[in-house]
Amino acid sequence: MTIAARPSEDPTDVSTQYIRDAIRDAIVDRRLAPGTKLSEADVGRLFNVSRTLVRGALQALSYEGLVNVEKNRGAFVAYPSPEEARQIFATRRLIEPGILREAAKNMGPSHFQHLRQLLMEEGRLMGERGQTARRAEIKASGDFHLMLASMTGNAVMQRFMDELVARSSLVIALYGQSAISSCGHQEHQDIVTSMERGDLDRACHLMLHHIDHIEKDLDMRENKGSDLKEAFRL
Amino acid sequence: MTIAARPSEDPTDVSTQYIRDAIRDAIVDRRLAPGTKLSEADVGRLFNVSRTLVRGALQALSYEGLVNVEKNRGAFVAYPSPEEARQIFATRRLIEPGILREAAKNMGPSHFQHLRQLLMEEGRLMGERGQTARRAEIKASGDFHLMLASMTGNAVMQRFMDELVARSSLVIALYGQSAISSCGHQEHQDIVTSMERGDLDRACHLMLHHIDHIEKDLDMRENKGSDLKEAFRL
DNA sequence: GATGATCAAATTGTATACGATCTTGTGATC
DNA sequence: GATCACAAGATCGTATACAATTTGATCATC
């Protein structure tokens, strides 16, 4: 198990929150494969912390849908079924156009500048090679959607999107075909451009297509027997 | 503190889940006032359970937004600010029309029958008098929205709605003016009728108005200083 | 009498201990 | 040799113990 503690962080003063974030990052960054067992004792040793804190972190992650806790068996990095994946994307299609409209109400030039800046970074990462750059790119791609959510000023929507984006990352990690996802960069730009022009209808339309594209790039045919999967991955 | 254990339940074999549900019910049913402190030891004594399990339950409720846990101070029944309330309803306006459309895809005659049955019950409770009937009515009103969510077959949406409905109950408990909310019964019926006719646009339209009505019936002028409120209620 | 410091009580934060459950490996039996 | 029973080990579930923090009261001081 390789849950890298953030550099320049003292491994003491570690709290539940810290562990939760570290594991979540590791999952979303695909450093922890779906199905991986997260033993309470092991994780505790990693962070020099008792099982009590680890349990808290795992419970929280379970609530976010990133981890499954099975009674008397332990916690595992979630292994979303194709059906779950469909539900996640269906929910995103339902929510994200609304987020766009809601965000647009509050957005001024500075907000657009922030978005553009994120897109620049995203584009830069696309050019680079290597696993690290790839992870950063995927993360940046999710951050785009999260930034839009944060611009609604609505904490509830923001939390929902947090969960949806994190779980989407897992799904993409599982069923993603290739680096095709990177073509999403252009779509992100188009969405921002439409918003800047005030053409919200088009922005929503593009957003829906964007989500469709992400979902279409998945290959979700495999192993329907949902529990067998874990055995193989483990 | 009066968190009634469900009748005919043995107070032994109580798990985190059970405690969580009991507290959630008590909050949503308004038997626990917003701001009430939920001391770990007290709750534990109530359920004959150690603080460990209580903490788990409180943490989960905190994630749902029904409880606020303040570091080193304890857990309190949430006291949503007017701003939070607005965000909750804004999110509902964003999500519920989509849920309607999503549910409509899967609904057959039996589903409509279930809905009608729920509405009958709701109507019956409206006629009755007393606090108990009132609570049951409010609960039934929320159940209508939850049942629609369940008919989407989408677990993610369902969970989001669970949270939104529960938090709405809290908000109504806090800022609700009178029993005007009961006029929502007719609106529920109209929504179902429109759906049955296949007029989804109208159903969505009615749903939006319905949510607006609920929000309009709130009086959220009071105490803006968000933290002071707790002090007074406590 | 009001204000501020200090100490005791209460409550939460975290670790550890112990019992319950599951997993797994061994060996007896067919 | 395959199958089943059983026991040892590992892991989780819950309770308890102790440390850290906050709260509230008492008392000294201005």
How would residue B178 be classed by pLDDT, with cut points 50, 70 and 90?
low
pLDDT mean over A204-229: 78
Structure tokens at A232: 């193989």
Residues of chain B in Cβ contact (below 8 Å) with chain A: 52, 55-56, 59-60, 63, 65, 84, 87-88, 90-91, 94-95, 98-99, 102, 154-157, 160, 164
**CA A161 to mean position of chain CA atoms:** 9
pLDDT mean over B211-230: 70
> What span, in angstroms and rounded, lies between the C-alpha atoms of B195 and B213?
20
Q: Give chain B residues 44-83 with Cβ within 7 A of strand C.
A: 51-52, 55, 69, 71-75
Alpha helices in chain B (DSSP H): 16-28, 40-47, 51-64, 82-106, 109-127, 131-150, 155-175, 184-196, 200-216, 226-233
* CB of A16 lies under 7 Å from some atom of strand C: yes
Q: Give chain A residues 68-87 with Cβ within 7 A of strand D.
A: 69, 71-75
pLDDT mean over A86-109: 97
pLDDT at A93 over 90: yes
How confident is the model over A140-188, as pLDDT tens digits? 889 999 999 999 999 999 999 999 999 999 998 888 876 555 567 899 9
**pLDDT the model gives residue B130:** 83
Alpha helices in chain A (DSSP H): 16-28, 40-47, 51-64, 82-106, 109-127, 131-150, 155-175, 184-196, 200-216, 226-233
pLDDT mean over A120-137: 86
Classify residue B22 as exposed, middle or buried by CB count within 10 Å of its CB (0-12, 13-18, 19+).
buried
- In chain B, the domains with their CATH numbers are 16-77 (1.10.10.10), 82-216 (1.20.120.530)
Average pLDDT of chain A is 87
Q: Nearest-CA distance from B119 to chain A in Å?
A: 26
The residue that leads in pLDDT, A119 or A132, is A119
**pLDDT the model gives residue A221:** 75
How confident is the model over B102-158, as pLDDT tens digits? 999 999 999 999 999 999 999 998 888 888 888 888 888 899 999 999 999 999 999
* CB of B52 lies under 7 Å from some atom of strand D: yes
CA angle A47, A51, A53 (to 5 degrees): 70
pLDDT at B230 over 50: no
Tell if the CB–CB gap between A154 and B90 is shorter than 8 Å.
Answer: yes
With CA atoms as reference, report the closest residue to A43 among A75, A91, A71, A90. A75
Q: Nearest-CA distance from B3 to chain A in Å?
A: 24
**Which amino acid would we find at residue A48?**
N
What's the CA A234/C1' C25 distance, rounded, in angstroms?
20
How would residue B184 be classed by pLDDT, with cut points 50, 70 and 90?
confident
The residue that leads in pLDDT, B220 or A192, is A192
The contacts of residue B95 (CB under 8 Å, 6+ apart) are A94, A95, A98, B157, B160, B161, B164
**pLDDT the model gives residue B37:** 95
**pLDDT the model gives residue A223:** 52
pLDDT at B229 over 60: no
How confident is the model over B88-107, as pLDDT tens digits? 999 999 999 999 999 999 99
pLDDT at A202 over 60: yes
* CB of B39 lies under 7 Å from some atom of strand D: no
pLDDT at B57 over 80: yes
**pLDDT the model gives residue A22:** 95
| Selected residue of B62, B92, B100, B160 to mutate for chain A interface (largest A Cβ count, 10 A) | B160
Average pLDDT of chain B is 87
The residue that leads in pLDDT, B233 or B118, is B118
Q: Nearest-CA distance from B130 to chain A in Å?
A: 34
**pLDDT the model gives residue B3:** 44
pLDDT at A134 over 90: no
Structure tokens at B116: 């009608």
Residues of chain A in Cβ contact (below 8 Å) with chain B: 52, 55-56, 59-60, 63, 65, 84, 87-88, 90-91, 94-95, 98-99, 102, 154-157, 160, 164
pLDDT at B213 over 60: yes
How would residue B61 be classed by pLDDT, with cut points 50, 70 and 90?
very high
The helix-helix angle for B40-47 and B51-64 (nearest 10°) equals 110
DSSP letter (8 states) at residue A153: T
The residue that leads in pLDDT, A224 or A139, is A139
**pLDDT the model gives residue B179:** 57
Contacts of B65 in chain A (CB under 8 A): 156
pLDDT mean over B24-43: 93
Contacts of B160 in chain A (CB under 8 A): 91, 160
At B65, give phi and psi (nearest 5°).
85, 10
How would residue A11 be classed by pLDDT, with cut points 50, 70 and 90?
very low
At B76, give phi and psi (nearest 5°).
-135, 145
pLDDT at B13 over 70: no
**pLDDT the model gives residue B232:** 46
**pLDDT the model gives residue B133:** 83
pLDDT mean over B36-61: 96
How confident is the model over A177-186, as pLDDT tens digits? 765 555 678 9
Tell if the CB–CB gap between B157 and A84 is shorter than 8 Å.
Answer: no
With CA atoms as reference, report the closest residue to B154 among A85, A29, A39. A85
**pLDDT the model gives residue A44:** 95
pLDDT at A225 over 60: no
With CA atoms as reference, report the closest residue to A82 among A170, A162, A145. A170
